[in-house]
Amino acid sequence: QQLAELGVKLDKACQLAAEGVSSRLAMAQSKEDAIRREFSEQQKKAFELDRKLLTYEELLRNVEADQALYNSMLARMKETSVAGKLETNNIRLVDTAAVPGAPFNINRRRETMQAAGLALFLGIGLSFLLHFADDRIRRSEDLEQGVGLPVLAIVPRISGRTETLRARVTQEDRQSAAAEAFRTLRASLVLSPAARKARLLMVTSAHPSAGKSLVSSNLAIVHAHNGIRTLLIDADLRRPSLNRAFNVACDTGLSHVLAGDVPWRDVVIATPIEHLDIITVGRIPPNPAELLGSSEMHKLLHEACESYEKVFLDCPPIFGLSDPLVLLPQVDGVLFVVHFNKSRRRAVQQAVQKMRGGQTPIVGAVMNDVNLSRPGGYYYYYHQYSDYYGHYGKRDRKKT
Domains of the chain: which residue ranges?
150-399
Using alpha carbons, list the distances in angstroms from residue 25 to 22, 29, 38, 232, 318: 5, 6, 20, 80, 76
Helix/strand/coil for 204: strand
Q: What is the pLDDT of residue 395?
A: 46
Q: What is the pLDDT of residue 86?
A: 61
Q: What is the pLDDT of residue 391?
A: 42
Neighbour order of strands in the sheet with 151-156: 151-156, 362-370, 333-339, 200-205, 310-314, 230-234, 276-279, 269-270
- Are the beta carbons of 136 and 370 closer than 8 angstroms? no
Positions in the chain whose pLDDT score sits under 70: 83-90, 103-105, 130-134, 374-400
Q: What is the pLDDT of residue 326?
A: 92
Separation of CA 336 from chain center? 17
Q: Does domain 150-399 have CATH number 3.40.960.10?
A: no
The rounded distance, in Å, linking the Cα atoms of 168 and 269 is 16
The rounded distance, in Å, linking the Cα atoms of 312 and 198 is 10
> 200 phi and psi, to 5 degrees?
-115, 110
Q: What is the pLDDT of residue 232?
A: 97
- Are the beta carbons of 282 and 267 closer than 8 angstroms? yes
Q: Report the 10 Å Cβ neighbour count for 95.
A: 5
> What is this structure's pTM?
0.64
Query: Which residues is 312 bridged to in the sheet?
Result: 201, 232
Residue 137 per-residue DSSP state: -
- Are the beta carbons of 365 and 151 closer than 8 angstroms? yes
Contacts of 311 (CB under 8 A, 6+ apart): 199, 200, 201, 230, 231, 232, 233, 301, 304, 305
Helix/strand/coil for 238: coil
Q: What is the pLDDT of residue 55?
A: 86
